[in-house]
Every structure is written in structure tokens, then in C-alpha cells.
Amino acid sequence: MENIAPWLALKSVSGVGNHLYKRLLDQFQSPEKVLNAKKTELMMVAGVSDRIAGKILGIRFPDHIKKEIELAKKHQFRIITFLDPEYPPLLHHIPDPPPYIYVKVRLEGTDQSVAVVGSRNASSYGKSMAIRLSRDLASLGLTIVSGMARGIDTAAHMGAMSAKGKTIAVLGSGLGVIYPPENRRLYEEISENGAVISEFPIEEGPKAYNFPARNRIISRMTLGTLVVEATPISGYLLSARLAGAQGREDLAVPGSLDPA
């Protein structure tokens, strides 16, 4: 693991969200250079106010950053930065990529991946279709990405693994908080057949506002998103439409695919 402390420290600055973090990286190439920049240089970056520049210059690597690094080492979680070759390549092209992601095991196959997502309250037919489609896609060599939620997400991961294919779970919590809790065994099985990732601190719980952020990762790190049984206001459906607007494939299962 590279010197990750400057990456975490910069993210901890109030006012430095993913958009601004990316602009700072574009300007200075690394967090270390951001932290060593002069105030006048920092304020040349759009969105950096006098207050934010002052906070960046005043960073002292608080204890919670040291604790986070120790937790990652303890649990053998890896922290992959935006500049790491392993970082999902398609995420480089969105306006608000996470500057780093936590990874359980190793990320592979992200350049040839498809998201399969949908309703937590899926019908038996919907779940069986998600298993079937994910199995077929995985058998073609595609990595199946989903959110490890109940319903369609769980079925998608299971379908990929049934074909001995790769699957990646993107969590709406930290890697140290398995949600939903009944998917603990699935969490371990996915780790053996792919990877589990998150952009959230290791001990962060499944907060409601984390899931739209999680959904954008799922839909934008993949070549396309296949939605199975989602309501018109589904967060997954919205994320798929936004990904479609960026040139990604936006697909859906319209109804029964079985012969009448």
C-alpha cells in the first residue's frame, strides 16, 4: 500500500468533496503536492476558497486517519487510489470519482464488466431471471457488478458465481459493516470469486445518503447497467439513466422472457 495518509487527510478537509478533489488532482497530480502548495496556488483551482485553502494548509493528520490505516491493515483491506493502475478505468471519466476505494481481495475484470441490479422486493421470477442473465453474461467472460442488497442484487452475484465467473459487490457501507447482515456468507463467497469494494470509511454504517453514491459507482464503473424489476423512482434506475447519458448502455428486462 502506497503512502495513503495524504489521500485520506485531503478527503477529511471540510469542503473538499469528490468534485473538488479531482480538480485538485488535475492541477497538482498528487495529494502530497496539494498539501505542499502555497495558498495562492491552491486558490487558483476553481472551488477553493480562502477558508478551504486555509484548512488544507492546516492539515495535521488527525488520529482517525491513523486508525483507519491500521484498520485496513488489520482486516487486510487494500486502499486503491485514483492513480493506481487497479482503479476501475471508467471511473476516471466521471466528474466526481472517489479519490480512493477500499478493496477486499483484488479488483480484476473491471474493464469488461456489466452491472445487474434491481428491486430489493423482487418476485421469484425476477430473481430467477437475474440469476439466469448474470450466469449467461459471466459465462461470456464479463464481470458482474452489483450492490449485495437483498433481492435482485443477491441473485445477480449468485448467478455470476454459479458460472464460476467474477463478481464485484459495491457496498453502501464500509467494508467492516456487512449490510444486509444476512448476506455475511455471500460477502465471503464474493470475496472468493471477485472483490468487495466501498468508497466509505471501514466502520461506516449503511446511511441512507450513501446508497445514491454507491449506485453511481455501480453504474459508471461498468460498460452498461441491466435493471431487473425496479420501480420508476428506483435509485438504480436513476443511476442507469445518468450512466446512459454518459454513453453507457442502459438496459432493462421489460417483462417475462419465457415463451407464453
DSSP string, 57-75: HT----HHHHHHHHHHHHH
Q: Using CB atoms within 10 A of its CB, is residue 105 exposed (0-12), middle (13-18) or buried (19+)?
A: middle
Query: Mean pLDDT score of the chain, rounded to an integer?
Result: 90
Region 36-61: mean pLDDT is 94
User: Per-residue pLDDT averaged across 42-58, rounded?
Assistant: 96
Q: What is the pLDDT of residue 257?
A: 54
pLDDT digits (tens, 9 = 90+) for 129-168: 999 999 999 999 999 999 999 999 999 999 999 999 999 9
DSSP annotation of 142 reads P
pLDDT band for position 246 (50/70/90)?
A: low
Cβ(120)–Cβ(110) under 8 Å? no
DSSP secondary structure string for all residues of 87-123:
S-GGGGGSSS--SEEEEEE----GGGEEEEEE-TT--
Distance CA 62, CA 66 (A): 7
pLDDT at 67 over 60: yes
Comparing 82 with 235, which gets the higher pLDDT?
Answer: 82
**Rounded CA gap, 161 and 146, in Å?**
13
Pairwise CA distance, residues 131 & 125, whole Å: 10
Confidence (pLDDT) at 64: 87
For the segment 34-52, the average pLDDT, to the nearest whole number, is 96
DSSP string for 210-223: HHHHHHHHHHHSSS
| pLDDT given at position 260 | 47
Distance, C-alpha 150 to centroid of its chain: 17
Per-residue model confidence (pLDDT) at position 229: 84
pLDDT above 50 (res 1): no
**Radius of gyration over every alpha carbon of the chain, rounded to an integer in angstroms:** 19
pLDDT greater than 70 at residue 254: no
Q: What's the sign of the alpha-carbon dihedral 166, 228, 132, 151?
A: positive
Q: What is the pLDDT of residue 223?
A: 93
Q: What is the predicted pLDDT for the residue at 109?
A: 87
Write down the pLDDT at residue 238: 59
Give 155 or 251, the one with higher predicted confidence.
155
Which positions ≥6 away from 178 have C-beta within 8 Å?
184, 187
Nearest to 144 by CA among 81, 188, 195: 195
pLDDT of residue 242: 59
**Burial zone of 180 (CB within 10 Å; 0-12 exposed, 13-18 middle, 19+ buried):** middle
- Whether the CB-CB separation of 134 and 155 falls below 8 Å is answered with yes
Would you say the C-alpha torsion 185, 189, 192, 194 has a positive or negative sign? negative
Give the separation between CA 194 and CA 157, rounded to whole angstroms. Answer: 10
